[in-house]
Amino acid sequence: MTKKRSKDQYIFQVKEESELLQFLLQNLDQGRNRTKSMLARGQVLVGEKAETQFNRNLVPGDTVTILKHAVPTNKNKGITILHEDDDVIVINKEAGLLSIASSKEKQQTAYHQLMEHVKMQHPKNRIFIVHRLDRETSGVMVFAKTEKVKRSLQDHWKQVVKKRTYVAVVEGRISEQQQTLVSWLKETKTHKMYASAKDNGGQKAITHVKKLAANKKHTLLELELDTGRKNQIRVQMEQIKTPIVGDKKYGAATNPIGRLVLHANVLSFKHPITNKTLEFKVEVPSAFYQLVKE
């Protein structure tokens, strides 16, 4: 017997002895893999405690609660899972955390932590990089849970992504309320990008810029990407002589809040399997606004 207590959870009363996974399969109208995913994400409670072991023994009188959404966990450092299904994981990455491993850091990355997360469900599970955020950039990222989904997202990125915006604070005052930056980007042997206003054979980069606020020292900008080139926003801001605050690599002279002041706040994309449009928005850090107070 199922009792719907609210739009966010369902409650089941156990009538006879059973293992948890078998009980869920009998009472939920969904497949085995999706059910095990819910267990791994902490969406199943026995009594008042989240239960991840599929072979947990249930006895008559036990209460099983199914949560519609995963319960946030503190096990991951520097990431918050915003959405997870059988195909994708969407996270909010904090500044200072690598997206993927570097030569100096292998484990403290968003990729490694999410790999460990999905392996809780099954040891053979994996995740796949779709795009990256720089270490010091915070905000929304999406990972694929299968290679097929990864290829689908990457091969059709321009068509799949409906909106991708960042917020940044730059040094200096920008007078234009709105502008579109078009550049051609190339990479030096030292892995620094540089931009040219003319076609130099590099990758074309297009960014739409909107001024949100400003004072004498800084300007708060919303930046919407048409293209997703390496360090695109950072190098284009240097090109117009208003580098992002905290970005020493690309010309910044100041670092008042101890980080690159760049945040990926909105990502909207068409789900590669369901074709539904998903949109995720992460609030801009309050310290960004403090920098443009009058």
Which residues have C-beta within 8 Å of that of residue 12, sequence separation ≥ 6? Answer: 1, 2, 3, 23, 27, 63, 64, 65, 66
- The CATH fold assigned to 158-294 is Pseudouridine synthase (3.30.2350)
**What is the reported pLDDT for 71?**
57
- For the cut 90, the answer to whether the pLDDT of residue 203 exceeds it is yes
Residue 226 identity? D
Active site residue 226: no
Of the candidate ranges 54-58, 110-114, 218-222, 254-258, the one whose mean pLDDT is the lowest: 54-58
Equal CATH topology for 73-155 and 158-294: yes
What's the pTM? Answer: 0.74
Cα of 227 vs its chain's centroid, Å: 18
From start to end of the chain, where are the E strands? 2-6, 9-13, 18-19, 44-46, 49-50, 57-58, 63-67, 79-84, 88-93, 128-129, 138-144, 161-171, 178-187, 193-196, 203-214, 218-225, 262-270, 277-281
Of 85, 134, 199, 226, catalytic: 134
Strand arrangement, sheet containing 2-6: 2-6, 9-13, 63-67, 44-46, 49-50
Section 238-246 average pLDDT: 97
Which residues have C-beta within 8 Å of that of residue 4, sequence separation ≥ 6? Answer: 10, 11
- For the cut 70, the answer to whether the pLDDT of residue 224 exceeds it is yes
Backbone angles phi, psi at 47, to 5 degrees: 70, -125
DSSP 238: H
**Domain at 73-155, CATH class:** alpha beta
CATH code, 2-67? 3.10.290.10
**What is the reported pLDDT for 1?**
47
**What is the reported pLDDT for 294?**
73
Rounded (10°) angle between helices 32-40 and 20-27 = 120
Rounded to whole angstroms, the Cα distance separating 261 from 142 reads: 21
Instruction: Judge whether 14 and 51 are in contact, CB under 8 Å.
Output: no
Rounded to whole angstroms, the Cα distance separating 104 from 92 reads: 23
The mean of the pLDDT values for the chain is 89
Backbone angles phi, psi at 200, to 5 degrees: -110, 15
Q: Can you give the residue ranges of every domain in the chain?
A: 2-67, 73-155, 158-294
**What is the reported pLDDT for 7?**
57
Residue with tokens 């599929």: 54
Least Cα distance to 231 among 133, 163, 156, 104 occurs for 133
Section 118-131 average pLDDT: 86
**What is the reported pLDDT for 35?**
85
pLDDT, tens digit (0-9, with 9 covering 90-100), for 77-103: 899 999 998 899 999 999 999 998 766
Better pLDDT: 250 or 39: 250
